[in-house]
Chains A and B, each alone.
Chain A
Amino acid sequence: MPQNLTIVVMACRQAVPDPALLLGALQTSGLSPRVIPEPCSSKVEVFQMLRTLADEADLLWVVGCPEGACQMVEGTFRMAKRVGHAREYLQEIGLEPERLGIAQFFADNQEAVAALISEIKERAKTLGANPARAQAPPAKEQP
């Protein structure tokens, strides 16, 4: 596992009510995670995803509720479309679209959270450091 890879997770508060659990699990795996709580995953815009990958993150995940369970009704649906658009952009840039992940689960689904952590670890191992990221990313504190 490459050490000190920066993992940013933009997570809906409904899906991830306790970011510390996710944060702890990723830190234990030797990664440098930052979890940004969002009122809804659909608040994450394409430019925010691209900026985050350009400035700070080796891998970025957007986490929302399952479709049909979104408090904003179609927030999860919109988020999936935006992630798709951002991945197309990454392809044009020449960066692996797999650096941008997506997950959808209910807050109490511990199995899904474990699967997410395992997927992030696997992806970090396969892809390594983001070559398109700024060399000295600005230090950002965990909110």
Chain B
Amino acid sequence: MIIGTRKPLAEIQDMVKKYDRLLVVGCDTCVAECASGGRREVAELAAALDMAFRLAGREKKIQEASVDRQCVHEFLLDVVEAAQDQDAVLSLACGAGVQALATRLPETPVFPGLNTQFIGETAQRGLWLENCRGCGNCLLGLTGGICPVTRCAKSLLNGPCGGARAGLCEITFAKGIDREVPCAWLQIYDRLLSLGEVDRLLEITPPKDWSTGGGAGPRQVVRPDQQA
């Protein structure tokens, strides 16, 4: 799923300060799961903005809405209607949701309330990990289900690099890194060892064609069988 984090309140406040009627719109799928953009977070942000603007001496009319998926146009019909008498819309969806909503509201400014971070996994309650870069050519079948493109700091396709210490990637020891980053290639080795398939590491993976990963501009998927 897509992981997002709320922008600082001051940044949000600055973006929408000139609008008196504001609609805050949540998305109840990915960003609700990571507790940043679902209906609860919409209610939190609406109350917070209400108070912040009041402290700044400005009263705003802030309304709330939420949809199942902001990135799917069919789900946006009610929001588009609700936005008709608003001065601006603040979306708590990922970047795809914000853009879908903006497409549907050509005459209303739409602002992002979140910073979209990555495609991730809920590893435990309150912990989300980046595990996929959407490179368009999945290698997980070769690497025991652990993605070197995402989880190796150098995105090496033939690793490890030699910089790992005590099972940790060398970036763990770099200044400013406040967490332990496991060496993805040691994880891949351990995983293949436990599967009895460590001989896969003898295969040399050729250089990757990055045109599938955004190197050839914005991507699209067309499925004629799904089209109207």
Chain A: residues with CB nearer than 8 A to chain B?
Answer: 45-47, 50-51, 53-54, 89, 92-95, 131-134
Q: B55 and A46: CB pair below 8 A?
A: no
Which residues on the A side are within 8 Å of B41 (C-beta)? 47
Q: B47 and A47: CB pair below 8 A?
A: yes
Which residues on the A side are within 8 Å of B8 (C-beta)? 92
Residue interface bits B48-87, CB-to-A below 8 A is 1, else 0: 1011101100000000000000000000000000000000
Q: B54 and A132: CB pair below 8 A?
A: yes
What are 29 A-B contacts with C-beta separation under 8 Å?
A: A46-B40, A47-B40, A47-B43, A47-B44, A50-B43, A50-B44, A50-B51, A51-B43, A54-B50, A54-B54, A89-B44, A89-B48, A92-B8, A92-B9, A92-B10, A92-B52, A93-B9, A93-B51, A93-B52, A93-B55, A94-B52, A94-B55, A95-B51, A132-B51, A132-B52, A132-B54, A132-B55, A133-B51, A134-B50
Closest to B9 in A: A92
Separation in Å of the A42 CB from the closest CB of chain B? 14
CA distance A46 to B35 in the complex (A): 11
Q: Which of B32-47 contact A (CB under 8 A)?
A: 40-41, 43-44, 47
Chain B: residues with CB nearer than 8 A to chain A?
Answer: 8-10, 40-41, 43-44, 47-48, 50-52, 54-55
**Shortest 5 CB-CB distances between A and B: which pairs?**
A47-B43, A132-B51, A50-B47, A92-B9, A47-B44
CA distance A95 to B51 in the complex (A): 8
Which residues on the A side are within 8 Å of B54 (C-beta)? 54, 131-134
CA distance A97 to B43 in the complex (A): 19
Separation in Å of the A81 CB from the closest CB of chain B? 9
CA distance A73 to B90 in the complex (A): 37
Separation in Å of the A105 CB from the closest CB of chain B? 27
Closest to B64 in A: A47
CA distance A137 to B9 in the complex (A): 24
Q: A53 and B40: CB pair below 8 A?
A: no
Closest to A91 in B: B9
Of A53, A89, A93, the most chain B CB neighbours within 10 A belong to A93
Find B47's partner among A53, A92, A94 (CB 8 Å cutoff).
Answer: A53
Separation in Å of the B63 CB from the closest CB of chain A? 14
Closest to A52 in B: B47
Q: B51 and A53: CB pair below 8 A?
A: yes
Separation in Å of the B22 CB from the closest CB of chain A? 14
Which residues on the A side are within 8 Å of B47 (C-beta)? 47, 50-51, 53-54
A89 with B9, Cβ < 8 A, contacts A50-B48, A53-B47 known:
yes
Known contacts A54-B48, A89-B44; can you find 4 more A-B pairs with CB under 8 A?
A: A50-B48, A132-B50, A132-B55, A133-B51
Which residues on the A side are within 8 Å of B9 (C-beta)? 89, 92-93
Closest to B50 in A: A54
CA distance A135 to B10 in the complex (A): 23
Closest to B41 in A: A47
CA distance A97 to B47 in the complex (A): 15
Closest to B57 in A: A131
Which residues on the A side are within 8 Å of B43 (C-beta)? 47, 50-51
Which residues on the B side are within 8 Å of A94 (C-beta)? 52, 55
Find B51's partner among A45, A47, A54 (CB 8 Å cutoff).
Answer: A54
